Amino acid sequence: MQPHPSPENSYLYQYLSENGTFNIAPYTFPAMQSFCSSSGSYQNYPFEGSVVTDITPQDRALAALRNHKEAEKRRRERINSHLDKLRTLLPCNSKIDKASLLAKVVQRVKELKQQTSQISGLDSFPSETDEISVLSEEYSSDGQLIFKASLCCEDRSDLLPELIQTLKSLHLKTLRAEMVTLGGRMRNVLLVSAEKDHSIESVHFLQNALKSLMERSNSTDRSKRRRVLDRKLIIQ
Amino acid sequence: MQPHPSPENSYLYQYLSENGTFNIAPYTFPAMQSFCSSSGSYQNYPFEGSVVTDITPQDRALAALRNHKEAEKRRRERINSHLDKLRTLLPCNSKIDKASLLAKVVQRVKELKQQTSQISGLDSFPSETDEISVLSEEYSSDGQLIFKASLCCEDRSDLLPELIQTLKSLHLKTLRAEMVTLGGRMRNVLLVSAEKDHSIESVHFLQNALKSLMERSNSTDRSKRRRVLDRKLIIQ
DNA sequence: GGTCACACGTGATAC
DNA sequence: TGTATCACGTGTGAC
C-alpha cells in the first residue's frame, strides 16, 4: 500500500484544495480527486458556489485548519517535553513508554509524599543540633497550601509569641502548633496554611524568617540546661 | 457541516467496506462512495480482485484495523488514568490540562527530591530519640538504585560490624558510611547501592532489618552515657 | 467567532 | 507474523 507523505485527508481540506483558491499548495491525494463531485452530506456545504476573490472563505477555513494543525503540534510537543523531563528525573532509562513512565511517576510521588510526612512527624523530640525545616505539604481540601515548619533550638519561653507574630506578618494561619521541650532544648512544629496570595516560593520566606528568629534566640545565650523539666504542649 | 458519528474515514477501511465481505457493518461516509473507482495510488492494492470466501483477506485486514483501533483506545485510557491519579495526588483542581499538570509534576518531583536530600544530610548529629529512616535516592549514573539509611540509637561499638553483615545479607553494597557518636548516643548514616535484583520495595526489607538490629541493640541495655567521648568517624 | 484542549482513528514503526 | 507504541491531522465541545 502506497502511503501518502502528508495525510491531508480531511474532507474539508480535500474540498477546499480543489474548489477554492489554493495558496498553500499541499499534497493532494490522487485517489481523492473525485471526492467532491459525488453526492453526499457535503452537498449543502456552506462554501458551495462561493465567489473566488482575494481572500475567500476557503482561504480562511484553510488557514484555520492549518493553525489548528500547528497548535495541536505545539500542544503535543509541550506535553512530550514534560514527559522527557520526567524521564530524566526518574530512575528509568529514556526509552520507557509513556504509560509506564506515568505509572512510575505516580508511585514516586506517593513515596516521596509519605517520606516527607514521616520524616517530620508532629511528635518528634528536640535534637541536639539547631534545625530548621519547612516542607510544603499537600493542599488542603479547600485548596489551601499547607506548610509544615519545624524549628529546633535552645529552650526559650518567649519564642512562641515571637513565632506567632512572625507567622502573622507573613499572612500565614497557624492550624496546629506543637512544642516539645526536653533537656533544655525545644522543638516547635507548626502546621500553617497559606493565604490565596501565597505560592510555593513562600517556603523560602518562612525559612528565612525562622532562621533570623532562631539567630536572635541564640544571641541571648543561656547555656544552662534544665534536664529536669520535660514537657509537651499541644495547641490545637 | 454534517459531522460523521464515527469517523471511519480510512482509505483502507473505505475500500474494504465496499468491496469485501463486510461483517462488522460500520458507518459508511456517503461522500466517499466513489472513492475506489477513481484511478490513483490504490490501483495496485494487494486485495484488488481477490476472491470472496469465508474469511477473506479483507475481513482479516478489517479485523486488524478494528483491533488496532481498540488497542489504541486502551492505551489512551491507560495513560489518562495515570494522569487522573496524578491530579488527585497533586495540589491542583481536577480540571487542569495535561501539559500544566505535567509541569506541576516535574516541579513537585524536583521539590520533593531536594527536600528528602536536605532532610537526611550525611552529617547530622545523633538525636535523643531512637530513629530509623530509609530513603530511596535517585539512581546513580549507571542505573543503580541508591538508598540512604539513617539509624540513631544508644552508642554500641559492636553495631557497625552487625550493620555491615546485615547489608551484605541483603545484597546491598555500602558506598559510604558515617558514624557520629555524641553523649552516649550514635547516628549511623549509610549510603548503599542495590544490586540489579532489587526493586523500590527493598526499602522495607532494609527498614525491618535495621529495626530488628536496633531492638537487639536496646535489649543489651547499657544506660551509662559517656558524655565525654564525642567522636566522628567517616568511612569512605 | 476564535482559541484551547481533548479524544479519536490512522499510518508508521519496532520487535 | 501479530502486537506493542508513537506522532499526526482532524472533529468537536467548552469558554
B112 part of contact set with chain A, CB < 8 Å: yes
Predicted pLDDT of residue A181: 66
| Interchain CB distance below 8 Å, B79 and A102 | yes
| pLDDT value at B208 more than 80 | yes
Helix, coil or strand: residue A97 = coil
Q: Which residue has the higher pLDDT, A54 or B51?
A: A54
Predicted pLDDT of residue B38: 32
Instruction: Provide the chain A residues 44-103 that lie in CB contact (below 8 A) with chain B.
Output: 44-46, 75, 78-79, 82-83, 85-86, 89-91, 93, 98-99, 102-103
pLDDT cut 90: percent of chain A above it: 8
Would residue A143 be called left, alpha or beta, if left means φ above 0 and alpha means ψ between -120 and 50 degrees?
left
Q: Which residue has the higher pLDDT, B18 or B38?
A: B18
Predicted pLDDT of residue A25: 36
Predicted pLDDT of residue A102: 93
> Helix and strand tally (H, E) in chain A?
5, 5
| pLDDT value at B79 more than 60 | yes
Query: All 3 cell numbers of residue A146?
Result: 499547607
Cβ-Cβ contacts under 8 Å, A45 against chain B: 1
Predicted pLDDT of residue B115: 60
Query: All 3 cell numbers of residue A22?
Result: 489554493
| pLDDT value at B21 more than 90 | no
Q: pLDDT band at B235, cuts 50/70/90?
A: very low
- CB-neighbour burial class of residue B143 (10 A; exposed 0-12, middle 13-18, buried 19+): exposed
- CA-based Rg of chain B, rounded to a whole angstrom? 32
Asked whether strand C has any atom less than 7 Å from the CB of B10, the reply is yes
Check if the beta carbon of residue B127 is closer than 8 Å to that of residue B187. yes
Q: Which of A95-104, A121-130, B22-31, B177-186 has the highest mean pLDDT?
A: A95-104
Query: All 3 cell numbers of residue B137?
Result: 535516592
Q: pLDDT band at A60, cuts 50/70/90?
A: confident
Q: pLDDT band at B170, cuts 50/70/90?
A: confident
| pLDDT value at B213 more than 50 | yes
Mean pLDDT of A37-53: 38
| pLDDT value at B34 more than 90 | no
- For residues A53 and A59, give the distance between their C-alpha atoms in angstroms, rounded to a whole number: 10
Asked whether strand C has any atom less than 7 Å from the CB of A216, the reply is no
Q: Which residues lie closer than 8 Å to A213 by C-beta, 6 or more apart? A: A151, A159, A162, A163, A166
| Interchain CB distance below 8 Å, B83 and A102 | yes
Q: Which residue has the higher pLDDT, B99 or A12?
A: B99
Predicted pLDDT of residue A235: 47
How far does the CA of residue A73 sit from the closest CA of chain B (Å)? 13
Count of other CB atoms within 10 angstroms of residue B76: 12
3-state secondary structure B14-36: HHHHHHCCCCCCCCCCHHHCCHH
Mean pLDDT of A14-18: 58
Q: pLDDT band at A122, cuts 50/70/90?
A: very low
Q: Which residues lie closer than 8 Å to B116 by C-beta, 6 or more apart? A: A112, A115, A116, A119, B135, B137
Q: Which residues lie closer than 8 Å to A5 by C-beta, 6 or more apart? A: A27
| Interchain CB distance below 8 Å, A85 and B106 | yes
- Give the least confident one: A191-195, A231-235, B170-174: A231-235
| Interchain CB distance below 8 Å, B11 and A31 | yes
Predicted pLDDT of residue A178: 67
Give the model confidence (pLDDT) of A46-55 as tens digits: 433 444 456 6
pTM > 0.75: no
Matching residue, cell 505535567: B102
- Give the least confident one: A145-154, B54-63, B84-93, B167-176: B54-63
| pLDDT value at A129 more than 50 | yes
Check if the beta carbon of residue B226 is closer than 8 Å to that of residue B217. no
Q: Which residue has the higher pLDDT, B28 or B229?
A: B229
A175 part of contact set with chain B, CB < 8 Å: no
Query: All 3 cell numbers of residue B202?
Result: 527493598
Cβ-Cβ contacts under 8 Å, B47 against chain A: none
Predicted pLDDT of residue B56: 72
| pLDDT value at B119 more than 90 | no
Dihedrals φ, ψ of A6, to 5°?
-125, 115
| pLDDT value at B17 more than 60 | no
- Give the least confident one: A152-166, B47-61, B172-186, B194-208: B47-61
Q: How many residues does chain B have?
A: 236
Predicted pLDDT of residue A54: 66
Q: How many residues does chain A have?
A: 236
Q: pLDDT band at B146, cuts 50/70/90?
A: confident
Q: Which residue has the higher pLDDT, A72 or A214?
A: A72
Helix, coil or strand: residue B115 = helix
Matching residue, cell 484495523: B65
Q: Which amino acid is at A107?
A: Q
Q: Which residue has the higher pLDDT, A39 or B131?
A: B131
B129 part of contact set with chain A, CB < 8 Å: yes
Predicted pLDDT of residue A100: 92
- For residues A200 and A186, give the distance between their C-alpha atoms in angstroms, rounded to a whole number: 27
Instruction: Tell which residue, A27, A24, A33, has the closest CA to residue A62.
Output: A24
Predicted pLDDT of residue A213: 84
Name the DSSP class of A62. Answer: H
Predicted pLDDT of residue B169: 84
Q: Which residue has the higher pLDDT, B132 or B3?
A: B132
Check if the beta carbon of residue A203 is closer than 8 Å to that of residue A136. yes
Q: pLDDT band at B234, cuts 50/70/90?
A: very low
Mean pLDDT of A215-232: 52
| Interchain CB distance below 8 Å, A86 and B98 | no
Q: Which residue of B has its CA nearest to A182?
A: B128
Predicted pLDDT of residue A19: 54
Query: All 3 cell numbers of residue A159?
Result: 519564642
- For residues B180 and B178, give the distance between their C-alpha atoms in angstroms, rounded to a whole number: 7
How far does the CA of residue B203 sit from the closest CA of chain A (Å)? 11
Compute the CA torsion angle B12, B15, B17, B22 (nearest 10 deg): -90
| Interchain CB distance below 8 Å, B91 and A139 | yes
H-helix or E-strand containing A133?
Answer: strand A131-139
